[in-house]
Structure formats: C-alpha cells, structure tokens
Chains A and B, each alone.
Chain A
Amino acid sequence: MVRTLLIRGMLVGVAAAVLAFVVAKVFGESQVGLAIAFEAAHEAPGAPAEPEVVSRTVQSTIGLFTGLLAFGVAVGGLFSLAYAVAQGRLGALRARTTAGLVALAGFAGMYLLPSLKYPANPPAVGNPDTIADRTSLYFAAMLIALAVVAGGFVAARRLAPRFGSWDAALLALAGGLVVIGLAYYALPAADETPEGFPADVLWRFRVDSLAIQATLWATVGLLFGALTERANRPAPVRAPGATPVSTLVGEAPTAPGGSPVATGA
C-alpha cells in the first residue's frame, strides 16, 4: 500500500517537474537573464571576470531541468508519505480531496509561507557574504511553517468533535496564522536588493517563482488524487454466472463494519 503510494508520488513528481520546467522556461528564465545582465553591468570596473564553470546555456536548460526534476521527485515522494498519513484521518474525504488538501498544505509549508518572509531572489540580489545566514534562516522558516501546518491538521482533528469540522478548521487556521506571524516578527529581515535593481524584474521574478512552485504542487496534488481514485475504483461487477474474480486485497474501498460514516462537515 505504502509502496504503491510512494512510487505513484515520485512518478507524479516527474510529471510535475516537466510542467514546472515549461513555466520556468517560458516565464522565469527571461527574468534570470535580465538580472544577470544587471549584475554584469554593475560589476566594479576592472574586476576580474568570474570564470564560467557551467555555461549559461547549460544552466538554463539541462541544469534547470535536473534541479527541478530532483526537487519534483523529492516533493512527490514526501507528498505521498504525507498523503499516506492523512488518508482516512481527515474525516470522510475522497482520495482526490485528501490529496488536494495535502498538496495545498505542502505548498504553503514548503514554499508560500517561507517565501512571504524570505522571498525568492534573482541573481544579483543578495550579498554573498550573508549566504550562510540567509540559508539557515530560509530553512528555519520552512521548518517552522511545516510544523505549523502539520500542527494545524492535528489541532483541527482534535477540535472537530467539539466545534464541527468547518469551525475546527477555521480555528486551527487562525491559530496557525498567529504562530507564523509571531515567528516572522521574531526572525530577522533580509533586505539586500542592490541600489538601482529594477523593481519590475524583481517582482516578475518572484511571481514566476510562485507560478513554478504552484504548477509543481498543483500537478502533484491533482494528478496523484486522480490516479489514486482510479486505483481505488472497485472492480467492475461481473455478470451473474461469470467466474468470480479475486479482488485486490486492501485496495477495494470497502467500508469496515459496513456502517456509513457521517461526513461531519
């Protein structure tokens, strides 16, 4: 069961990476190019040119794809494990609804919330001397956000019997936002945009980064949900008299005990 989900998640991650690559290529790369042009134009005169270890062509094609592919497979695998925990534990939700919720939570925890505090930066933005601090802070923000998101689900589940699913979810959401707000208030800011860097390029780069991540997570959640629904579909009923077919053990969505469970919402 877990094996099937894990394989499905990683394959879906590959598909998501391909779509994310298209978005990155069509929208993001032009902004990266503009940022690099700014960087080149503002280097100190007479400074020795940086040796080009990997050419821009490789960076913007096979390098970009490799990076997105590794990220997509990692996200797909992690997502499937989170889905395996969530399945059947978030109330009477369908597989595709569960997958959609888990993907939304992953997108918020791994990208959206951390990027609100430490947004994506194009080349030329960010002081190389502070990379260690900025990396630690970014991963710290990601950990905090993921912990808050996971905690929110647990809290919503605990509160559901008393307040009902909807109000419990809203309470958990509100609590999570308060914790995130306090954490971001405490974390130091990172304002390192160089003087004169075009604001439009920065804005578009960040929107493109958001689009790439949204494409990736949406593909993971929706495709995984659709495939899981298809796999869970009961085997077609054979005509009476036909040879009985052995059903997949553990895959058929039979209700244990046979009693229908109230939707709770």
Chain B
Amino acid sequence: MAHPGVLDAPAAPAPLPTIPLSELAPFALFGSLLALVLLYFVGAEQGAVSLVAGSNVHEFVHDARHLLGFPCH
C-alpha cells in the first residue's frame, strides 16, 4: 500500500475547484434578474405594484404569497 494514510483519513477531502468569478458573472447577472422577476410575480405583483391589470395574478398565487411570508394585502 503506497499511501495508507489516504485510505484511513476520509476526513481530509480534496479541495474543491474554485470557479473564476469572471466565468460566473454573466450567469449570476442573468440568473439573478430572472429569479428576481419570478420572485416579484410570486411576492409582489398586483399588491404594491401592478404590471398586469386586474388581480388575477395576485389572487392565483394568493396562498403561496401569504405562506411564504410576503406581504399580500
């Protein structure tokens, strides 16, 4: 056995590779914007601000909005 220490030391993991921030930036920007739009529709549309007329969006996600902790009405 060349490296017995490696086998009986499962607590020392190989360090995980870091992903360069420059590679992450476009994903982070686009992903965050998309996620914010989704959060907005679940959390705030037709409450304080309204992009779509009426109250269908608000009423449809009504229970999720309350139970997830967003102010609803």
Known A87-B19, A135-B44; contact A67-B61, beta-carbon cutoff 8 A: yes
User: For this complex, into which size category does the number of interface residues on chain A fall?
Assistant: 35 or more
B38 to chain A, nearest CB (A): 4
- Identify the closest chain A residue to B21 (Cβ): A85
Are B59 and A81 in contact (CB-based, < 8 A)? Answer: no
B5 to chain A, nearest CB (A): 10
Complex Cα spacing A209 to B65, Å: 10
Known A59-B60, A77-B34; contact A71-B39, beta-carbon cutoff 8 A: yes
Are B15 and A255 in contact (CB-based, < 8 A)? Answer: yes
**Interchain CB contact (< 8 A) of A98 among B16, B59, B69:** B16
Are A88 and B17 in contact (CB-based, < 8 A)? Answer: yes
Interface size on B, residues (CB 8 A): 46
- Identify the closest chain B residue to A83 (Cβ): B19
> What are 20 A-to-B residue pairs whose CB atoms are below 8 Å?
A54-B56, A54-B60, A59-B63, A63-B62, A64-B61, A67-B60, A70-B61, A71-B68, A74-B38, A88-B19, A93-B13, A118-B71, A120-B67, A121-B72, A122-B66, A123-B73, A134-B48, A135-B47, A138-B70, A253-B16
List 12 additional contacts besides A6-B31, A24-B63, A123-B66; criterion CB under 8 Å.
A2-B23, A29-B63, A54-B62, A59-B60, A65-B64, A71-B64, A71-B68, A73-B38, A74-B39, A95-B16, A122-B66, A213-B68
